[in-house]
Amino acid sequence: MTTLSNNVADLAPHDRTRPLKKGKVKPARDLCSECGLCDTRWVAYVKQACPFLHQQFEAMELEVHGRSRNLDLEEELYFGVYQRMLTARLKQPIIGAQWTGIVSRLSIKAIETGLVDAVLCVQQSEEDRFTPVPILARTADEILAARVNKATLSPNLEVLEQLSGSNIKRLLVIGVGCQTQAFRAIQNTLPLDAVYILGMPCVDNVSRAGLETFLKSTSKSPDTVIHYEFMQDFYIHFHHSNGKSELVPFFGLDTPKVKDIFAPSCLSCFDYVNAGADLVIGYMGAKFGYQWLTVRNSRGEQLLQLVEPELEIQPVTSSGNRHAAVQQGIDAYNQSIRLPSWMASIVGWFVQRIGPQGLEYSRFSIDSHFTRNALWVWRHHGEKAEKHIPLFAKKIVSQYRLPS
Ligand code: FAD
Ligand code: SF4
């Protein structure tokens, strides 16, 4: 006869565990990115799965792509394992999408062609445009309602609780790096037959309160912002509900105020380019108006083929030299220097014309963020810096002179 205790022992760890109670301090404490894993029974695996407790790029890349990145090849050092890289825009852009809407269109095709049963994506709350509401979407309308970035930490993985008992067996997951890393670590324990990950690059995310501070210190009309992006022309482009656009030069940011708003998770993150996704869609390696696509493996290729006929494609390009600008940025950030707006506009004008473009712009952004984040980790979590900062990031950071 089987005893109750034997039955319990036979259960998988996630079937013996409850989600953490809402409001309880998460295992990664101040470094938690609220990825949603701890709001599910899969919190059982948090010690191995949480990217802020146990980062494991090499093992993840090996398992997902069949090899880890080659640190001696500059493009892999920066952008991770990949098979193909291109820039593209939808011939018929989706109105209201963050860029041209390739992510939403591809997701709709994945449902319509039967490649997957559902798409994990993020809608917004009815009351607030920037409050994320993750869902398992099964229709084109549900996917379209998730278009455009909610530029705040989003608990995407909390919806994994809804998988059991649903008839979802094939899932497309849309997410940023920390969500991808946690998902990959528990993927094999989920009741799924097939998984595809469409990742986005991500940096400098904020809590909802942090976003308020950012908008108030940066935009002339913070309450009407419906969409914004840090663009490759070195300006932040805000779009307002009255249809107007507002451009603010990066170099005019109120550094002393803005410095503290980014989530500690994002100040300690080195997964800007979403290393564990099958396909990554961002913008920063492309010229203005285009999106930047990185196909990492054959599943990523399968995803891209769903929309390829609908894309206007161009090869990736690279020009300029980022190094001096990155070094100046490190020193200015460390001293919390804020340029007057007239000077910021002049600097912006020059950098836009002679500064890094295409892949070199991506490297500029990666260098700037990795140096800042390495400094932040050394200063705030010195005890974990050696293990937490991955080899590829150490190699990138070592090109610069950092303040002590
Ligand atoms: P759309 O068709 O508009 O679809 C957007 C998708 O984003 C939706 O499916 C939605 O589910 C998902 N989403 C929205 N908010 C979140 C969230 N908070 N977490 C997870 N998923 C979300 N690209 C760069 O090149 N450099 C960057 O620094 C960069 N930072 C980003 C920061 C954040 C927080 C996000 C969400 C994205 C970032 N991206 C970045 C990606 C880029 O801004 C676009 O999202 C991407 O190019 C897709 O554009 P699209 O028009 O195809 O997307
Ligand atoms: Fe849990 Fe995710 Fe926070 Fe890590 S980042 S503690 S896995 S919710």
Q: How many domains does the chain have?
A: 1
- Residue type at 63 in one-letter notation: E
- 147 found inside a domain: yes
- 2 found inside a domain: no
- Residue type at 321 in one-letter notation: N
User: What average pLDDT does the structure give for the chain?
Assistant: 92
- 169 found inside a domain: yes
Domain that holds residue 353: 29-404
Going from the Cα of 38 to the center of ligand 1, the distance in angstroms, rounded, reads: 23
Instruction: Tell me the ligand closest to 87's alpha carbon.
Output: 1
Q: Looking at the predicted complex, does its ipTM rise above 0.90?
A: yes
- pLDDT attached to residue 6: 52
Per-residue tokens: 393:
């990031």
- 11 found inside a domain: no
Q: Closest Cα to residue 79, out of 359, 328, 333, 346?
A: 359
Which atom, in ligand 1's list, is nearest to the CA of 153?
A: 18
CB 351 within 8 Å of CB 252: no
- 170 found inside a domain: yes
- 9 found inside a domain: no
Going from the Cα of 122 to the center of ligand 1, the distance in angstroms, rounded, reads: 10
- Whether ligand 1 lies within 6 angstroms of the CB of 55 is answered as no
How do residues 269-284 score in pLDDT, each as one tens digit?
999 999 999 999 999 9
Going from the Cα of 330 to the center of ligand 1, the distance in angstroms, rounded, reads: 26
- 20 found inside a domain: no
- 61 found inside a domain: yes
Measure the CA–CA gap between 84 and 202, rounded to whole angstroms. 20
How do residues 123-133 score in pLDDT, each as one tens digit?
999 998 899 99
Question: Confidence class of residue 15 from pLDDT cuts 50, 70 and 90?
Answer: confident
Going from the Cα of 273 to the center of ligand 1, the distance in angstroms, rounded, reads: 12
Measure the CA–CA gap between 128 and 79, rounded to whole angstroms. 34
Q: Closest Cα to atom 1, ligand 2: which residue?
A: 38
User: Which residues are bridge partners to 248 per DSSP?
Assistant: 236
Measure the CA–CA gap between 31 and 207, rounded to whole angstroms. 12
